[in-house]
Amino acid sequence: MISEHLPILQVVIPLLAAPLCIFLRGRAAWGLAALASGSALAISLALLGRVLSTGAISYALGDWAPPVGIEYRVDAVNAWVLVIVSTIGAVVGPYALLSVEREIEARRIPLFYAAWLLCLSGLLGMAVTGDVFNVFVFLEISSLSAYALIALGRDRRALTSAFRYLVMGSVGATFIVIGIGLLYSMTGSLNMADLSELLPGVWDTRTVRVAYGFLAVGFCLKLALFPLHLWLPNAYTFAPSAVTAFMASTATKVAVYMLLRFFLTVFGAAFSFDVMRLDLVLLPLALAAIVSMSLVAIFQENVKRLLAYSSVAQIGYMILGLSFASATGLTATLLHLFNHALMKGALFMALGCVMYRIGSVRIEAMAGLGRRMPITMAAFVAGGLSLVGVPLTVGFVSKWYLIVGALERGWWPVAALVLLTSAMALVYVWRVVEAAYFRQASAGARRSGEAPWSLLAPTWALVLLNLYFGIDAMRTAEVARVAAELLLAGTGR
């Protein structure tokens, strides 16, 4: 009986746990948050298993049949995204306990976990729903709680970066809701599957094209595609460590999913690629993001900011896969959603361990840390290798598919550029490694010991996932392939 309600429980469990956190104190609030994140992972894995064996699941909210009522619709694509978000939630949840106690005032901790769970349920909701207005509602839930989470950072600059994110994010959300409103005015429907059937009849109207433009700009703002990424580096740099690890691996990923869902399922691949030429719009932006942001990352002194710029470059890889307009390219995009979540999660969590011990993540402060915190820095190195794309890590798998996709289209300069930017990633990862292993320890690093195991265990869990799915990529690549074909085929209804 429970199993038929899984799509709604995916959202409702964190949503119910969030207000309960407000009535709890300190560690009890954390326990509830960790429990809710863990159960979200169990539900998403169950959903993915069912979707892969029996096809899409539809759940009608309030027993109102779609397309009139709100429909939650899970297929291989969003089940995959649900697994990504809830995996990171379930790993960062246990990690948060000590990291948050160190970085956030005690009286704000229950509020922190309430906002955390709201953010989680918002992200899961965006992924699970099959209703475009519902997407907007969950987008606002996740964004508003994200602004609050970022503003809780210890540095006072966290406030200004959260405010800047709020302004940019609200502009993005407004563009999205305008786009949705225009679609509704043309079709009278808000259901994704229904829209995908109604839209071909009105393709040739200016309203639909304007809606397409609004949605494109809105989603690109939310997913931080160059040059709309300006909110991201500061937000990631000054947010609490656990928040950075969580947001960097989930928020932009869900935005990429929304872009894919709207432009490939709702509008249809044919409209996006043949009429609107989305691929030609995204290709230069993706390449600019990859090259310029990798270059900027090389010159950063704060490692968190370095990784934030690298995130913008990595988002470029995802969009690059989409711009190939092929099944291989999309497989690369979907694989990289998961793989990038694993590697950036591991890297930001290793930085959180450093922050916990020495209170700074500047490169000069991390000098000599390789001897003082060997387990933490080993995790960082493993995550860094994955970011570069060394074989036996997940980064290699995504880059492989990306290069195969580029060669399929005959775009060998693009393939060469992917290789070149991997070398640039090596440069910025190496700067940290060089400081940590080959320089004299700074005063702070000399005093510090290894981070506590409750921080190291979740970090290493992600590192091991990086290696496991780098060696045995069959399962992830298969799911990504199924999802990519589903996206290109349309609704699958």
Among 3, 6, 10, 23, binds another protein (CB under 8 A): 23
Q: Which is nearer to another protein, 15 or 343 (CB)?
A: 15
Q: Which stretch binds another protein (CB under 8 A): 57-65, 122-130, 342-350, 360-368?
A: 57-65
Among 56, 57, 59, 285, binds another protein (CB under 8 A): 59
The answer to whether 107 contacts another protein (rule: CB under 8 A) is yes
307, 235 Cβ separation under 8 angstroms: no
The answer to whether 20 contacts another protein (rule: CB under 8 A) is yes
For residue 339, which of 419, 394, 396, 399 has the smallest C-alpha distance? 394
The answer to whether 299 contacts another protein (rule: CB under 8 A) is no
Q: Which is nearer to another protein, 88 or 141 (CB)?
A: 141
Among 15, 264, 337, 402, binds another protein (CB under 8 A): 15
- The minimum distance between CB 295 and another protein, in angstroms, equals 43
Q: Which is nearer to another protein, 67 or 268 (CB)?
A: 67
Q: Which is nearer to another protein, 30 or 59 (CB)?
A: 59
Q: Which stretch binds another protein (CB under 8 A): 15-23, 39-47, 226-234, 450-458?
A: 15-23
Size of the site for another protein (CB under 8 A): 18
Q: Which is nearer to another protein, 61 or 467 (CB)?
A: 61
Q: Which stretch binds another protein (CB under 8 A): 10-18, 158-166, 224-232, 382-390?
A: 10-18
Q: Which is nearer to another protein, 19 or 284 (CB)?
A: 19
Round to whole Å and give the CA distance between 96 and 493: 41
Residues 109-148, mask of contacts with another protein (x by CB under 8 A): -----x----------------------------------
- The minimum distance between CB 4 and another protein, in angstroms, equals 9
- The minimum distance between CB 353 and another protein, in angstroms, equals 31
3-class secondary structure per residue, the chain: CHHHHHHHHHHHHHHHHHHHHHCCCHHHHHHHHHHHHHHHHHHHHHHHHHHHHHCCEEEEHHHCCCCCCCEEEECHHHHHHHHHHHHHHHHHHHHHHHHHHHHCCHHHHHHHHHHHHHHHHHHHHHHHECEHHHHHHHHHHHHHHHHHHHHCCCCCHHHHHHHHHHHHHHHHHHHHHHHHHHHHHHHCCCEHHHHHHHHHHHCCCHHHHHHHHHHHHHHHHHCCCCCCCCCHHHHHHHCCHHHHHHHHHHHHHHHHHHHHHHHHHHCCHHHHHHHCCHHHHHHHHHHHHHHHHHHHHHCCCEHHHHHHHHHHHHHHHHHHHHHCCCHHHHHHHHHHHHHHHHHHHHHHHHHHHHHHHHCCCECHHHCCHHHHCHHHHHHHHHHHHHHHCCCCCHHHHHHHHHHHHHHHCCCHHHHHHHHHHHHHHHHHHHHHHHHHHHCCCCHHHHHCCCCCHHHHHHHHHHHHHHHHHHHCCHHHHHHHHHHHHHHHHCCCC
The answer to whether 12 contacts another protein (rule: CB under 8 A) is yes
- The minimum distance between CB 148 and another protein, in angstroms, equals 13
CB neighbour class for 62 (10 Å; exposed up to 12, middle 13-18, buried from 19): exposed
Q: Which is nearer to another protein, 22 or 392 (CB)?
A: 22
Q: Which is nearer to another protein, 62 or 410 (CB)?
A: 62
Q: Which is nearer to another protein, 69 or 200 (CB)?
A: 69
Q: Which is nearer to another protein, 60 or 327 (CB)?
A: 60
- The minimum distance between CB 141 and another protein, in angstroms, equals 11
Residues 62-91, mask of contacts with another protein (x by CB under 8 A): xx----------------------------
Q: Which is nearer to another protein, 25 or 371 (CB)?
A: 25
At residue 444, what is the residue type? G
Among 60, 281, 378, 471, binds another protein (CB under 8 A): 60
Among 46, 61, 171, 327, binds another protein (CB under 8 A): 61
Round to whole Å and give the CA distance between 201 and 161: 43
For residue 137, which of 152, 148, 149, 125 has the smallest C-alpha distance? 125
The answer to whether 16 contacts another protein (rule: CB under 8 A) is yes
- The minimum distance between CB 12 and another protein, in angstroms, equals 6
Tell me which residues touch another protein (CB under 8 A): 1, 5, 8, 12, 15-16, 18-20, 22-23, 59-63, 107, 114
